[in-house]
Amino acid sequence: MSAPLPIAVLVSGTGTNLQALLDGVHGREAQIVAVAASTPRAQALARAAAAGVPHAVFARSQHRDRVARDEAMADWLAARGARLVVLAGYMELLSEPFLDRFGGAVINVHPSLLPAFPGVGAIEQALAYGVKVFGVTVHFVDAGVDTGPVILQRALELPEAREADEVRSALRPLEHGLLAEAVRLFARGALSRAADNPRRVLVDCAPARSGGG
């Protein structure tokens, strides 16, 4: 197997997606070399600490503006050798210079079937709309809000759902599985773009070669 891909994970909250990556891909297909939080209150920081992963806080309030914050954060992530940045419940928008610096290698997990219900409160938006099918999307990040090319999606029928917490709990395992899978695919070089439509992400499902000729 080839060397693990060095990745960074950006967090703002409880960090269950970070935990799924620590449990499912860390030290295997990928090595989490840095965890950056938007707030010192992110419980995800304790998960990084418990796993012995370098972690730091880059709060908007500590910097001149968002671009300066992103530059400081990108410097730190690059110094740690990150080649993929994973947004796992990261609740801030990233500036274009940050995205350019990582050359499109920034992915996000979102709790809806995009392009439906982008932005904050996706599950609440979906419930208010009255949908019967919910879902999860992992996508590349571009300068828009949840507008980048879709990597993986999974749907879940919950025709009777009424409470956001109920939907959130049901979607969590899907998020964790899909995000880990997307990181594995990226690490193995299995993601590319369709020549006739660069928004369409092609997934090479061939198993990774085990080496040895």
Non-local CB neighbours of 17 within 8 Å, separated by 6+ positions: 11, 88, 89, 109, 175, 176, 179
List the beta bridge partners of residue 207. Answer: none
- Would you give the binding string for ligand GRF spanning residues 93-132, x where CB under 6 A is met? ----------------xxx---------------------
Query: 26, 110, 139, 176: which is the annotated catalytic residue?
Result: 110
Residue 189 amino acid letter? G
Residue number with CB closer to ligand GRF (21 or 201): 21
13 binding ligand GRF? (CB under 6 A):
yes
Of 8-16, 22-30, 61-69, 137-145: span binding ligand GRF (CB under 6 A): 8-16
CA distance 47 to 61: 23
Q: Which of residues 59-88 bind ligand GRF (CB under 6 A)?
A: 88
Residues 7, 8, 10, 15: which binds ligand GRF (CB under 6 A)? 15
Cis peptide before 115 (omega within 30 of 0): yes
Q: 202 near 151, Cβ under 8 Å?
A: no
Contact residues for 1 (Cβ-Cβ < 8 A; gap 6+): 29, 208, 210, 211
Is 110 assigned a catalytic role? yes
- Provide, rounded to whole angstroms, the least separation between the CB of residue 90 and ligand GRF: 7
Check: CB of residue 97 under 8 Å from CB of residue 70. Answer: yes
14 binds ligand GRF (CB under 6 A): yes
Nearer to ligand GRF, 13 or 149 (CB): 13
The token pair at 27 is 């030290």
Question: Could you tell me the smallest distance in angstroms from the CB atom of residue 16 to ligand GRF?
Answer: 3
Considering only residues 8, 17, 25, 117, which one is a binding residue for ligand GRF as defined by CB under 6 A? 17
- Regarding 146 and contact with ligand GRF (CB under 6 A), the answer is no
Q: Kindly compute the dihedral angle of the four CA atoms of residues 182, 186, 120, 160, in this order, to the nearest 10 degrees.
A: -20
Q: Residue numbers of the site for ligand GRF (CB under 6 A)?
A: 13-17, 44, 88-89, 109-111, 175
**Catalytic positions:** 110
